[in-house]
Amino acid sequence: MSEGPGTTPTTTTTPAATAAKRSGTRNLVEWVVVIVCALLVAFVVKTFLFQAFYIPSPSMTPTLQIDDRVLVNKLSYDIHGVERGDLVVFRSPQPAAPEKDLIKRVVGLPGDTLEGRDGHVMVNGEPLEESYLPDGVQTGTFGPVEIAPDHYWVMGDNRSNSSDSRVFGAVAESQIIGKAFVKVWPIGSFRLL
């Protein structure tokens, strides 16, 4: 039967075409779900578990160099307390500081009395053993300072070029984001901290 003028041609959809269309739609939906799930996992990991931070200044040399990248464990201090010698990332206590997040080493714990004397950090009257510092590094004079509850005295390993607790005082525990535990950049310099 021929089609007359003004009639619309009929199209027939084969089962194979219908299946292909469904398959394409299903693939698209699957990809969208995979991408959304991946973004959600990345958000959860960054918010609650681990986050990468870069080193903006020479205050931690030689341990960390400018532009190094470290991973920070955000759950670490939910499991155990902050320990002397830990490298911590924390929110800067100076609102006008160019960097919002800083990384320093914990030197003093709540209740400690700290003092910079004779080139060394003295904790409760005794020199602090700082094996992480290169030979010859001298700490300037400061204190004595008694560390308040839930506060920590932090210092850069590059004692002559670090704005740290000697400048802004002890850091509140609530400002600590987490513990830096591994250096991941530059490539080839991966190591535990």
For residue range 150-190, what is the model confidence (pLDDT) as tens digits? 999 999 999 999 999 999 999 999 999 999 999 998 888 88
Considering 74, 104, 179, 183, which one is annotated as catalytic? 104
CA 86 from centroid of its chain's CA atoms: 13
Residues 6 or more apart in contact with residue 172 via CB below 8 angstroms: 93, 150, 151
Strands, sheet with 120-123, edge to edge from the N-terminal-most edge strand: 126-127, 120-123, 113-117, 142-146
117: tokens are 């004397």
Q: Which CATH number fits domain 55-192: 2.40.110.10, 2.60.120.430, 2.10.109.10, 3.40.50.1370?
A: 2.10.109.10
pLDDT at res. 20: 65
Q: What angle do CA 89, 112, 110 make, to 5 degrees?
A: 50
pLDDT band at 30 (very low <50, low <70, confident <90, very high): confident
- Model confidence, pTM: 0.76
pLDDT at res. 186: 87
Whether 104 is a known active-site residue: answer yes
Partners of 143 in beta bridges? none
In the chain, domain spans: 14-51, 55-192
Per DSSP, the three-state class of 41 is helix
Residue 155 region by backbone torsions, left for phi larger than 0, else alpha for psi between -120 and 50, else beta: beta
Q: Are 93 and 171 in contact (CB under 8 A)?
A: yes
Whether 2 is a known active-site residue: answer no
Question: Whose CA is closest to 162, among 84, 101, 88, 102?
Answer: 102
For residue range 42-82, what is the model confidence (pLDDT) as tens digits? 665 566 578 899 999 999 999 999 999 999 999 989 899 99
Considering 21, 46, 57, 59, which one is annotated as catalytic? 59
**CA neighbours within 13 Å on the CB side: how many for 48?**
6
